[in-house]
Every structure is written in C-alpha cells, then in structure tokens.
Amino acid sequence: MRLVLVGPPGAGKGTQAQFIAEHLSVPKISTGDIFRANVGQGTELGLLAKSYMDRGDLVPDDVTIDMVRNRLAEGDAAEGFLLDGFPRTVPQAQVLDDMLAEAGVKLDVVLELVVENDEVIRRLSGRRTCRTCNHIWHVEFDPPAEEGVCDLDGGELYQRDDDKPETIANRLEVYDKDTAPLVNYYAERGLLVGIDATGPVDDVTVRAIDALRPLQHGDDKRADDDGADKRSD
C-alpha cells in the first residue's frame, strides 16, 4: 500500500505513522528522517540543505523534493510506503503524482487524522520539557510526581516557546492555510479517508487500521466507518 498521512501539529502523526507502517509492513518515510539521514551521511543534497539550515533559512522545495524522490527510489519502498510530512501543499502533491506516475504506480489512500484545534492546543500546551535530559512530560496526560521537576534527574521542567498557546495557534493557522487545499485536492480525487484522532493512542490506531482494511483487500471504495471525515465522500 502507498499512502500519505496528513493532520495538524499535535494530531499524533509521528506515533501513528510508526504503528500503521509496521502493520502494513511498509517503510515510514518522514521528511525529518530524510533530512537527518542526508545531513548525517554528508550527501550532496544533505550538504545543500545544511547550508540553508545553518543560515536559518527554509530548505527550498526543490531540495526537499529531490530528497523524497531519492528515498522513494530505494528498494524497500518498491512495494509500498507511508509518507509523513510530505506533501504539505498542493504543488508538492502534484509533484508527488508525477514522481509516482514515472514509476508506473499511484497513491492508494490519503489518511487524515482529524483533531479539533482546541484539542491540539490542549495537547501541545500541556507539554513540559526537562532542561537537563530533554524528556517531555505532560501536565495532564503524563505528569511528573512533583510539579515542575523531572522524575528522571530532578531537572527543571519548562514550557518551550513552540508549546505556548499563542505559538500553537499560529502554527494551526499556517497549517489550515497550506494544508486545507491539500486535503480538498485529495478529497476531490476520491483518495481521502478521515478518522477521529482524539482519545487514547491505541484507539486511534485501531480506527486507522479499520479504515485501511478494505483497501488492503483490494476494495477501491473509501472507508465509510463511523468517525470517518465526510469530506472523503
């Protein structure tokens, strides 16, 4: 199966991507992993990307696209993959379509993790990071024994700027601006399946696997289970 995972920051994409990829026996391919691998290995693209990052600039689309193209050409992705973090925009989605067409394949499904903005802010703004070991706690879901103190090493816990409500709200605005057209693009092509991504991690994984199961068995119909995003209709 070839699928793309989309969802707002705080939707749990990284966690679900790992579980879903393992269930489907396909590689999880994230832009973060690709960047780290290329920079770590000192590839030509990695060095180019690092030159932008060292200046504090965004890595241009064409560099990211070339990295994704190279990763999809590796042997483990020949029979399927799960893409997390790419595409993020309609132009990137169109480039991905062209990449796959050149290889004689196409996407099977785009799985959207649907979470309300209020829930995203609740999840992310509750995170606290240890200044010493960088372990992340959560004031509601995984609190330390003593407020403000890391259980692991006694380090001070603090709220990163990225986890402050005003910053999260801005990230969500950017996501809605850039990704809402992407979701509509895939919905119009009949590729989008949405699931409710609230609740315990295991429950979300079960919903995802249930939504994908008909496609694994060769049924081209999009999932229509309870909780599916009706934008996929």
**171 is annotated as an active-site residue:** yes
How is the beta sheet containing 28-30 ordered, strand by strand? Answer: 28-30, 81-84, 2-6, 109-114, 192-196
DSSP H helical ranges for the chain: 13-24, 31-41, 44-54, 61-72, 90-102, 117-125, 165-188, 201-216
Phi and psi dihedrals of 212, rounded to 5? Answer: -90, -20
Give the chain's mean pLDDT.
Answer: 88
Q: Active site residue: 2, 28, 127, 222, which one?
A: 127
pLDDT, position 127: 94
What are the structural domains, with CATH classification, of the chain? 2-26+79-115+179-232 (3.40.50.300)
**13 is annotated as an active-site residue:** yes
CB 81 within 8 A of CB 27: yes
> CA end-to-end span of the chain, whole Å?
21
Most confident residue range from 46-50, 60-64, 127-131, 217-221: 127-131
Q: Active site residue: 69, 88, 122, 164, which one?
A: 88
Q: Active site residue: 36, 131, 160, 189, which one?
A: 160
CB-CB neighbours of 49 under 10 Å: 21
Q: Active site residue: 69, 164, 171, 231, which one?
A: 171
CB 194 within 8 A of CB 231: yes
The more confident residue out of 112 and 48 is 112
pLDDT, position 214: 85
The residue among 165, 152, 183, 65 whose CA lies nearest residue 124 is 165
Q: Indicate the pairing of strand 127-130 with strand 136-138.
A: antiparallel
pLDDT, position 219: 56
Q: Active site residue: 13, 71, 123, 222, which one?
A: 13
pLDDT, position 217: 62
